[in-house]
Amino acid sequence: MCSTGLLGGLLAQNMTQGQPRPILDVVQMAVAWHSMAGIYAAEARTELGVDAQTLSQSLLPALKAFLTGQRAS
């Protein structure tokens, strides 16, 4: 999943909530989540190259870490 798909999904979910968050907050969350997933994927593979499958597999662990306040190394 590319960052635009991730962002689009989060924005769509945000708009269906009763009290949507400001769009800038959603964009910042998407960027942080995508960045953490990239760091986790690089740790699993190599910093020289991460494929889309590895990145997508890293999204859930990155989200869990993001929501619990953990930092990527």
Whole-model pTM over 0.75: no
Position 61 in a domain: yes
Q: Is position 37 within any domain?
A: yes
Split at pLDDT 50, 70, 90, the class of 24 is very high
DSSP 2: -
Average pLDDT on 19-46 reads 87
- Mean pLDDT in residue range 27-51: 84
Structurally, the chain folds into a number of domains equal to 1
- In a domain, residue 73? The reply is no
51 contacts: CB under 8 Å, gap ≥ 6: 45
* The pLDDT value given to residue 66: 78
Spatial distance between the Cα atoms of 57 and 25, rounded to a whole number of angstroms: 24
Contact present, 13 and 7 (Cβ < 8 Å)? no
- Domain hosting residue 36, numbered range: 3-68
